[in-house]
Amino acid sequence: MTDLSKLTIEQARTGLESKEFSAVELTKSCIEAIEAAKELNAFVHNTPELALKQASEADDVLKAGSADLMSGIPIGVKDLFCTKDVPSQAGSSILKGFKPTYESTITHQLWEAGAVMLGKLNMDEFAMGSSNETSMYGDVINPWKESNSEKKLVPGGSSGGSAAAVSADLCLGAVGTDTGGSIRQPAAFVGITGLKPTYGRCSRWGVVAFASSLDQAGPMTKSVKDAAIMLEVMSGHDEKDSTSVDMSVPNFESFLSGDIRGKKIGIPKEYRMDGMPNEIEKLWSDGIIMLQDLGAEIINISLPHTKFALPVYYVVAPAEASSNLARYDGVRFGHRANLDINDGITEMYEKTRAEGFGDEVKRRVMIGTYVLSAGFYDAYYNRARKVRTLIKNDFEAVFKQNIDAILTPSTPSSAFSLGQMKEVDPVQMYLNDVFTVPVNLAGLPGISIPIGLDDKGLPLGLQLIGKPWEEGDMLNIAYSLEKSANFESRPKKWW
């Protein structure tokens, strides 16, 4: 039974219901896999006792024949989510030792649906990063390696721990967050499925905030069907979150018919960028052919303000981050610096934040404070907000043309080497989000699915962008593309 951790959520659910194995056996398999994979540094706070308790309770529910959607399914949780009595540090030293006395809405919904918590997953500090190299816990290592090479690769970020854990079969699924691509980009780097829902579909209450108008939680899984299962549990209106939308949650799994005949798929010309690697161009072309073969109609579209998405994002997101992170001051919770006898409250704030925040967080807080300052507010922040509206309008105009979904690459490259981007301008790192950021700015749903391997043997993904609140339709198109691509490659175990 040691290979149970390799199952998908769908397969495990079937096995649990048919009594082929128990939730405790499934959970123990994952716990063993986690223990054997410490070199990946994906899990940072293990909760085996809690997991086995929840698994035992799930077995009782299963025996009674009243299983919930996630009964007995072991998952990991990104360290950005507050989990009761379990360290929740957002990958930052400034929250060291913080154990919430409450549960985030999304994790509460998952436990209510029978899911089993294996522990907390590594991430870029405060979700700021595209490689998972800014965490106080150290770097996460991608379970994939290039053919005939031993160099270690990044798993993407900020949900790098979630991505690596699912790809390495340490858990059956994981919860991530996506502010500018932090679910979809790492999913593409490790060959799994990553879904960012429509903004407002999932509650943000109890999730440590980075940029409040952009943050959205979502599932990271081994298949599209698994993502549909998890999304249904994670979704729903929450009165504690003012941005949570009060609308019914459909059975997303029921949308997965595999029939996309007549669907109109938009191909934005602006995403064909200068210098795009040939392998990304070919992957995109292959995806277009697959969709055509499935009966979809391919339509060339234009999203003219795409070229402004990255500059807009890197004004809006740091501005919101500088406001959100002002609460970490050494007074109420988390780290407090050691002070000299003559230090006052100002020195306490300064020393605490200097010690507690890492370089990337400091960089973004300073940028955010700058663009919000009196002399530059209109020149930067207000202008960025206006251009953000234009980007959103581009998508709305396209969807009014009866386009059902938009197909793009997920990332501009496959996973790169650990430390590679630390040696260059930070802007080069930010370019990893070039295909994903517009989706967050417009509040749309997006999903990355693995399609193929590059010439180095590393996974590559394609992104589908859906209409707001129509995740079901987007999932069905993704499901059809997944079946056509038939991506079954797995990382060779070296850890």
Could you give the C-alpha distances from 329 to 206, 333, 479, in angstroms and in order?
Answer: 19, 8, 46
Nearest by Cα to 323 from 240, 181, 210: 210
Task: List active site positions.
Answer: 78, 158, 182
| Pairing relationship of beta strands 173-178 and 74-78 according to DSSP bridges | parallel
How far apart CA 189 and CA 109 sit, in angstroms, is 28
How far apart CA 109 and CA 106 sit, in angstroms, is 5
How far apart CA 95 and CA 330 sit, in angstroms, is 9
Burial class (CB in 10 A: 0-12, 13-18, 19+), 425: exposed
Nearest by Cα to 171 from 356, 337, 42: 42
In Å, how far from its chain's centre is CA 115?
Answer: 19
CB 436 within 8 A of CB 216: no
How far apart CA 135 and CA 117 sit, in angstroms, is 21
CB 357 within 8 A of CB 94: yes
Taking the CA atoms of 465, 469, 478 and 30 in sequence, report the sign of the dihedral they define: positive
